[in-house]
Amino acid sequence: MSRPAFSPTIPVDALTELEAVAELAVLAEQIAHHDALYHGKDAPEITDAEYDALKRRNDAIEARFPHLVRADSPSKRVGFEPLATFSAVTHAKPMLSLDNVFSDEDAADFVGSVYRFLGVLPDNSIAFTAEPKIDGLSMSIRYEKGRMVTAATRGDGTTGENVTANIRTIAEIPQVLPADAPDVVEVRGEVYMAKSDFLDLNARMEAEGKQTYVNPRNTASGSLRQLDPKVTAARKLKFFAYALGDVSAPLADTQSGIVQRFRDWGFPVNPLMTKVNSVEELLAHYHAIGEARSSLDYDIDGVVYKVDRLDLQERLGFRSRSPRWATAHKFPAEQAFTTLTGIDIQVGRTGALTPVARLEPITVGGVVVTNATLHNEDYIKGIGNSGEPIREGRDIRIGDTVIVQRAGDVIPQIVDVVLDKRPPHAVPYAFPTKCPVCGSHAVRETNEKTGKMDSVMRCTGGFTCAAQAVEHLKHFVSRNAFDIEGLGTKQIDFFFGSEDPLMQIKTAPEIFTLQRRQEASPLIKLENIDGFGKVSVKKLYDAIEARRDIALHRLIFGLGIRHVGETTAKLLARSYGTYEAFEAAMKAAAEPGSEAWADLNAIDGIGEVVARSIVEFYKEPRNLTVLKALLDEVRPQEAERPTTEGSPVAGKTVVFTGSLEKMTRDEAKARAEALGAKVAGSVSKKTDILVAGPGAGSKLDKARELGIATMDEDEWLALIGG
Ligand SMILES: NC(=O)c1ccc[n+]([C@@H]2O[C@H](COP(=O)([O-])OP(=O)(O)OC[C@H]3O[C@@H](n4cnc5c(N)ncnc54)[C@H](O)[C@@H]3O)[C@@H](O)[C@H]2O)c1
Ligand SMILES: [Zn+2]
């Protein structure tokens, strides 16, 4: 099973900061993993709804804990880096993603946020376009002097893949533009495969005894990213134009005007695009498109709303990965009834016992679902984490008929139990009190912050628990830790399970002694084992060798210290610089009241529970033994010092006061933050700049008193470059 076992056990509102840090780390890793599969290989492992739910969970946690947003947060990234198979194209203007909403209420909020941001009363004066969200892949087609010169995929938003030869095979995309086209124009839109063409293709594949394709979107993407344009040509791809990239002269004042120009030039544009003014109209159109959905010959997964006027779009600007002037209103997830045939318990790296529902296979919205997360003991019992019954009388029993949903939360969820259909012999589920892997007893700890019992039952076996040890290794080699290519989940399971001392890997340092041990092995060598072979063994050794020099934060993260996610690891690396300094400090910090303990706690972003967890880790002799062996093998690098960007206000704390005339307060704040400044609400000694508009009062007085630089709006704009 390649799907990572992960379930948010706690509602976002109830998360502690530590849990949030840990979960954000897991989410970043998982989302990156799914991005690579989806965008890089056109072969996702999970459904889009599941993927969206992961992203939503990430966004919700980040919204609650803005200071925990990771540098590598999925909320800041678009897509995936382009494949090296194609030459790279740097987009003249970035190709971004879209923000998502999932309910009518949130769609209305989106409209409200536009008005608020612009400082306009919500009087229906702002027009929006509403158009189907085509489930294909986005494409930027550049024309110079009326001729198609390049066509590129979105890639990571900055750089895409050059697929010009393939795009030229799509008959409905013009090769030349009429004389009224500007010298440079990039027409952007979605390449897709019609449902009917997809079905035909699959019928042909089946007739030829070949493997059929999974869905039109992935097939379209795979068909386009072919080295041989003839293959693309045979697939009958189609296109809808809906956005403008780089352009040398304005085409129109509005989104709808731009699309009209595209239509005039002969591009296919979506007939269901419309212009609306009120939330009511917008939602009516959303529901109308939803009803038409199944009768359309192309897959759509929602409706995109865009502010129509380009001047307003410009004022609204962008977040790191999406425009503020648009959002995608996704269609809801689907539900289905099925039977719960069993409950498995998985044991994670930190010993957490996670129950997984085994289901009678059921198709939910086109995807077969066989298991679902059950979160934790309380969830199965039908009581909330905080102790209040949230589904009183709705405990989940083996044999129950349950309602499975593929969105709304992470991974397939059991959203309810059909009590009428409960078999008479069904008994309440008894959650194990022993680890199913090592037999150690399992406990629910008391949360130190809240004094409440933790929702997670944990195996107390620690090092002796094989499940924890193997998960530890998997963490150690994972993407954000040692990132050893060719040493994934499957291989770790193999090496961990090996009986041969010259082959087995039970602890991290043994990864680095594998080759030496193998070279000394007179008997069975790795290369003779099924699934390895000479070439891949050599590759594996090279990959391991390449990680002997390791970034300090990767090493610290890789140790798998509880509560130390990637962000914390980076903080620690940056604060201590070298591994020696870090280890010495952690050992010294074990002394109550020591300076080292105070220093550790003083690091911005590290709280007491994290600090204690690290110190405890360094108190454990078994950890020190493993660490010593590891440091005989690897050389942690000195950590990089934080880079100061070219921005004149990076790292500065800015306060705005009084009224601003050129922009709203939200706009000012967003721009300052985009340039790396911190925006604070009140003046203190830490304030670097006070931007004071007319009517500024006490804040201005205070800033003068403290000798803080003050400037007016124009001076501020001049400083940040207009
Ligand atoms: N199943 C997985 O493992 C997996 C992994 C990664 C991404 N995904 C899926 O891929 C998509 C996520 O990534 P995303 O960043 O492309 O975001 P997105 O699909 O939610 O939104 C942005 C994209 O929408 C497209 N789009 C379609 N019609 C449009 C229109 N009329 N106007 C503007 N844009 C339009 C554009 O290509 C644009 O890039 C989601 O649907 C997600 O579920 C799935
Ligand atoms: Zn155990």
Three-state secondary-structure class, residue 11: coil
The answer as to whether 57 is a domain residue is: yes
The residue whose CA has the least distance to atom 6 of ligand 1 is: 35
Nearest to 716 by CA among 678, 674, 660: 660
**Contact of 241 with 267, CB cutoff 8 Å:** yes
From CA 722, how far away is CA 720, in angstroms rounded?
6
Shared-domain flag, residues 288 and 387: no
Give the number of other Cβ atoms within 10 Å of residue 5's Cβ: 16
Shared-domain flag, residues 37 and 149: no
CATH number for the domain that contains residue 271:
3.30.470.30
The answer as to whether 113 is a domain residue is: yes
Q: Which of 330, 345, 377 is the last residue of a domain?
A: 330
Three-state secondary-structure class, residue 98: coil
pTM (whole model) above 0.90: no
Shared-domain flag, residues 48 and 135: no
The residue whose CA has the least distance to atom 26 of ligand 1 is: 133
From CA 561, how far away is CA 124, in angstroms rounded?
53
From CA 722, how far away is CA 717, in angstroms rounded?
5
Q: How far is the CA of 461 from the centre of ligand 2 (A)?
A: 5
The answer as to whether 49 is a domain residue is: yes
Outline where 89-135 has alpha helix (H).
Answer: 104-118
Q: How far is the CA of 152 from the centre of ligand 1 (A)?
A: 16
Nearest to 30 by CA among 10, 15, 50: 50
CA distances from 263 to 236, 240, 271 (A): 20, 10, 10
CATH number for the domain that contains residue 345:
2.40.50.140
The residue whose CA has the least distance to atom 36 of ligand 1 is: 138
The residue whose CA has the least distance to atom 40 of ligand 1 is: 48
Element (H, E) at 138: strand 137-144
Shared-domain flag, residues 533 and 555: no
Q: How far is the CA of 454 from the centre of ligand 2 (A)?
A: 18
**Contact of 182 with 251, CB cutoff 8 Å:** yes
C-alpha of 278 from chain center: 32
Six token digits for residue 589: 């910090």
Question: In the prediction, which pLDDT does 1 show?
Answer: 29
Question: In the prediction, which pLDDT does 3 show?
Answer: 37
Q: Give 43-61 pLDDT, tens digit per residue.
A: 777 777 778 888 989 999 9
Which ligand has the nearest atom to the CA of 352? 2
Binding residues for NAD(+): 48-52, 97-98, 131, 154, 190, 306, 330
The answer as to whether 26 is a domain residue is: yes
From CA 104, how far away is CA 115, in angstroms rounded?
17
Q: In the block, which residue shows the tokens 């386009």? A: 224
CA distances from 381 to 342, 384, 393, 431, 532 (A): 15, 9, 9, 9, 45
Element (H, E) at 329: strand 326-330
Q: Which of 359, 389, 421 is the last residue of a domain?
A: 421
- CB-based contacts of 390, cutoff 8 Å, min separation 6: 382, 383, 384
The answer as to whether 82 is a domain residue is: no
Shared-domain flag, residues 321 and 341: no
Residue of 52, 98, 110, 259 to test ligand 1 pocket, by largest number of atoms within 8 Å of CB: 98
From CA 443, how far away is CA 433, in angstroms rounded?
7
Shared-domain flag, residues 166 and 139: yes
ipTM of the shown complex = 0.93
Under-70 pLDDT residues of the chain = 1-9, 206-207, 209-212, 214, 333-334, 365-367, 384-393, 406-411, 447-449, 604, 640-645, 722
State the total domains in the chain. Answer: 5
Nearest to 382 by CA among 349, 407, 410, 416: 416
Which ligand has the nearest atom to the CA of 458? 2
The answer as to whether 394 is a domain residue is: yes
Shared-domain flag, residues 181 and 323: yes
Give the number of other Cβ atoms within 10 Å of residue 162's Cβ: 18
Q: Which of 636, 662, 680 is the last residue of a domain?
A: 636
**Contact of 239 with 172, CB cutoff 8 Å:** yes
Shared-domain flag, residues 340 and 280: no
Binding residues for Zn(2+): 435, 438, 465
CATH number for the domain that contains residue 664:
3.40.50.10190
Q: How far is the CA of 664 from the centre of ligand 1 (A)?
A: 30
CATH number for the domain that contains residue 595:
1.10.150.20
With 0-12 CB in 10 A as exposed, 13-18 as middle and 19+ as buried, what is 664?
middle
Ligand 1 contacts (CB < 6 A) are 34-35, 37-38, 44, 46-48, 51-52, 78-79, 97-98, 100, 131, 133-134, 138, 154, 190, 242-243, 301, 304, 328
From CA 114, how far away is CA 516, in angstroms rounded?
62
Which ligand has the nearest atom to the CA of 464? 2
Q: How far is the CA of 237 from the centre of ligand 1 (A)?
A: 18
CA distances from 18 to 448, 583, 602 (A): 11, 22, 16
Q: In the block, which residue shows the tokens 């289901």? A: 359
- Which of these is catalytic: 55, 76, 93, 133? 133
The residue whose CA has the least distance to atom 9 of ligand 1 is: 48
Shared-domain flag, residues 297 and 397: no
Which ligand has the nearest atom to the CA of 242? 1
Q: How far is the CA of 97 from the centre of ligand 1 (A)?
A: 7
Element (H, E) at 456: strand 453-459
Three-state secondary-structure class, residue 336: strand
Shared-domain flag, residues 487 and 535: yes
The answer as to whether 564 is a domain residue is: yes
* Radius of gyration over every alpha carbon of the chain, rounded to an integer in angstroms: 28
Nearest to 332 by CA among 637, 681, 49: 49
Residue of 45, 48, 78, 406 to test ligand 1 pocket, by largest number of atoms within 8 Å of CB: 48
78 CA: nearest ligand 1 atom? 15
Residue of 42, 51, 95 to test ligand 1 pocket, by largest number of atoms within 8 Å of CB: 51
What are phi and psi for residue 682, nearest 5 degrees? Answer: -135, 160
The residue whose CA has the least distance to atom 17 of ligand 1 is: 97
Query: Is 662 known to be catalytic?
Result: no
326 CA: nearest ligand 1 atom? 33
Q: Output the CA angle 154-297-171, nearest 5 degrees.
A: 60
Shared-domain flag, residues 231 and 137: yes
Shared-domain flag, residues 266 and 163: yes
Question: In the prediction, which pLDDT does 313 show?
Answer: 97
From CA 502, how far away is CA 525, in angstroms rounded?
9
The answer as to whether 503 is a domain residue is: yes
Question: In the prediction, which pLDDT does 566 show?
Answer: 82
Which ligand has the nearest atom to the CA of 407? 1
The residue whose CA has the least distance to atom 15 of ligand 1 is: 97
What length is written for the chain?
722
Binding residues: 48-52, 97-98, 131, 154, 190, 306, 330, 435, 438, 465
**Contact of 446 with 428, CB cutoff 8 Å:** no
Residue of 27, 29, 34, 38 to test ligand 1 pocket, by largest number of atoms within 8 Å of CB: 38
CA distances from 356 to 26, 377, 398 (A): 18, 11, 12
**Contact of 240 with 100, CB cutoff 8 Å:** no
- The residue range of the domain holding 95 is 88-330
With 0-12 CB in 10 A as exposed, 13-18 as middle and 19+ as buried, what is 262?
buried
